[in-house]
Amino acid sequence: MKILDAFSGNLSSWFAKEFAINNVIKNDIRKGQIIFTQGQKVEIIADYNFNMFSDGVIIDGGNYDLIYADPPHLVTTSGILYKTYTDLTAYQLLSVEYDLISLLNNLNDNLAPNGVVIIKWNNTDFGLKKLITKSKLFLLFGTTTSKRKETYYYICKKGE
């Protein structure tokens, strides 16, 4: 199975970190950075440093069976949140909506024909569900509540 972690950071979402280190393609624009925050050393673990919000990004030939995407969700932030997670302005090229649709299309274009992407998102500053319907991705299922400040999961398959 070919797996991509599109925003790997320090692999904090992975229970099986050794598996991720050895078997997952990792991408983060902060590749190789070491961040010191709240007395902790956070090392960004990545094989590539592509900006997933740019148009036409294909990582290591694409064709992934599974992509996990936990992109920055805050438009702007500062302090510890910025240091640890960064924000959308670090990636932004044109507008938040345009860049998010580019991200979603890049995720789609990196999937194998039967590939699946899991997107972790928080709607604090910007909702994602409506944008998924404007992208190439085909939304299968995920979080269905409508609370504003909550982590959402969207599971999509490669669209046409």
Nearest alpha carbon to residue 42 among 15, 10, 8, 13: 10
Domain boundaries, the chain: 3-157
The angle at the Cα of 118, spanning 113 to 124, to the nearest 5 degrees, equals: 140
Q: What is the pLDDT of residue 110?
A: 98
Task: Tell me the pLDDT tens digit for each residue of 10-66.
Answer: 999 999 999 999 999 999 988 988 877 677 788 899 999 999 999 999 999 999 999
Reported as a pLDDT band with limits 50, 70 and 90, residue 79 is: low
What's the mean pLDDT in 103-110? 97
Q: What is the pLDDT of residue 72?
A: 78
CATH topology for 3-157? Rossmann fold (3.40.50)
Contact 74, 125 (CB under 8 A): yes
DSSP structural state of residue 90: G
Whole-model pTM? Answer: 0.86
